[in-house]
């Protein structure tokens, strides 16, 4: 395992790779769990070299408290990654190293992909994600970069940014990894009490039934059903449920043939905000 703390160290690592080595990048903010590890395993199976970046990016937090509370567990993360492979390079720079000219967010034209769902509730979040992912891609120059489908909107936005900036990289989306009770793996799950972690399995169960209902019922009816289910739940508070076209992320008007749809939710479990989604067809 190689730990790279600066852009210079990263550059010298890259200069030692062979010309035809394919490089996989797995960008993370640390606090690694099995979801991240599945991305790393996929990257290892596709590429000769794999870089995992660990960087808690300040420009994507619209809430300073959330940034302060975000778990920082570099030693444990290194330990986990070393168990997967001794061949990995970990790029873990400081904020000053990355944002050498000051912590600034770039603005992108995401064609509305950033205005719905997470974008509606987290001002400028996706410009922050675009800013850091563009920087990481320019620095590490990977052949492929890997992102989880739990953050499906983020995945579509990153694909858009790569197209806009004409970056020579293939973006690979990877399926959501779930806890045995169905809860989507997330670094935030660590902040849930044991009983809330059990309660939160309700989110995926509800999405699964919504998927079944989508086979025979209209989207507004499915949405109404999900809202009612959460209204009746004692401890989980639904922030939104949307059913959208997977490409444009525009909310569904009427079901159309040959269009793929997903249902997306954001839910508060106490003060922990969880997101999840499911492919509907
Ligand atoms: O999904 C994340 O952990 C982050 O948004 C990412 C892609 C690493 C950018 O900071």
Q: How confident is the model at residue 259 (pLDDT cuts 50, 70, 90)?
A: very high
Residue 269 pLDDT > 90, yes or no?
A: yes
60-83 pLDDT tens trace: 998 888 899 888 999 999 999 999
* pLDDT of res. 132: 98
Cα of 220 from ligand 1 centre, angstroms: 32
Q: pTM for the whole thing?
A: 0.96
Testing ligand 1's pocket by substitution, the residue of 25, 27, 148 carrying the most ligand atoms inside 8 A of its CB is 27
The finding on whether 136 has its CB within 6 A of some atom of ligand 1 is no
Q: How confident is the model at residue 117 (pLDDT cuts 50, 70, 90)?
A: very high
Cα–Cα distances in Å, from 178 out to 35, 127, 151, 205, 274?
A: 8, 28, 13, 12, 13
H/E element holding 225?
A: helix 219-231
What's the token pair of residue 147?
């992102």
The closest residue, in CA terms, to atom 6 on ligand 1 is 28
Give burial (CB, 10 Å; 0-12/13-18/19+) of 23.
Answer: buried
Cα of 204 from ligand 1 centre, angstroms: 22
* pLDDT of res. 63: 86
- The answer to whether the CB of 179 falls within 8 A of the CB of 150 is no
The closest residue, in CA terms, to atom 2 on ligand 1 is 28
Question: Does the active-site annotation cover 36?
Answer: yes
The pLDDT mean for the chain works out to: 96
Q: Between helices 125-140 and 7-15, what is the axis angle to 10°?
A: 40
Q: 3-state DSSP call for residue 99?
A: coil
Find, among 97, 107, 105, 27, the residue nearest to 62 by Cα. Answer: 105
**Which atom belonging to ligand 1 lies closest to the Cα atom of 148?**
1
Q: How confident is the model at residue 251 (pLDDT cuts 50, 70, 90)?
A: very high
Rounded CA separation 109/107 (Å): 7
Cα–Cα distances in Å, from 55 out to 41, 48, 98, 175, 224?
A: 20, 23, 9, 22, 39
Testing ligand 1's pocket by substitution, the residue of 26, 37, 129, 156 carrying the most ligand atoms inside 8 A of its CB is 129
184-198 pLDDT tens trace: 999 989 889 999 999
* pLDDT of res. 122: 85
């Amino acid at each position: 395992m190689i730990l790279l703390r600066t852009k210079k160290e990263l550059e010298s690592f890259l200069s030692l790779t062979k010309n035809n080595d394919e490089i996989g990048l797995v960008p993370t903010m640390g606090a690694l769990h099995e979801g991240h590890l599945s991305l790393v395993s996929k990257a290892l199976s596709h590429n000769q070299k794999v870089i995992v970046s660990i960087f808690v990016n300040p420009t994507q937090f619209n809430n300073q408290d959330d940034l302060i509370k975000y778990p920082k567990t570099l030693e444990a993360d290194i330990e986990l990654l070393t168990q997967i492979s001794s061949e990995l390079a970990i790029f873990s720079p400081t904020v000053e190293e990355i944002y050498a000219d000051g912590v600034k967010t770039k603005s992108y034209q995401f064609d509305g992909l950033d205005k719905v769902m997470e974008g509606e509730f987290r001002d400028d979040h996706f410009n922050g994600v675009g800013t850091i992912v563009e920087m990481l891609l320019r620095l590490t120059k990977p052949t492929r970069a890997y992102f989880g489908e739990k953050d499906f909107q983020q995945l579509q936005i990153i694909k858009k940014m790569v197209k806009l900036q004409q970056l020579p990289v293939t973006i690979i989306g990877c399926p959501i990894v779930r806890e045995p009770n169905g809860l989507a793996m997330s670094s935030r799950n660590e902040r849930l009490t044991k009983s809330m972690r059990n309660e939160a399995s309700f989110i995926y169960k509800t999405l699964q039934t919504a998927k079944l209902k989508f086979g025979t019922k209209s989207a507004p009816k499915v949405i109404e059903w999900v809202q009612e289910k959460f209204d009746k739940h004692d401890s989980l508070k639904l922030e939104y449920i949307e059913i959208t076209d997977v490409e444009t992320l525009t909310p569904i008007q009427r079901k159309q043939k040959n269009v793929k749809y997903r249902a997306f939710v954001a839910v508060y479990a106490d003060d922990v905000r969880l997101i999840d989604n499911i492919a509907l067809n």
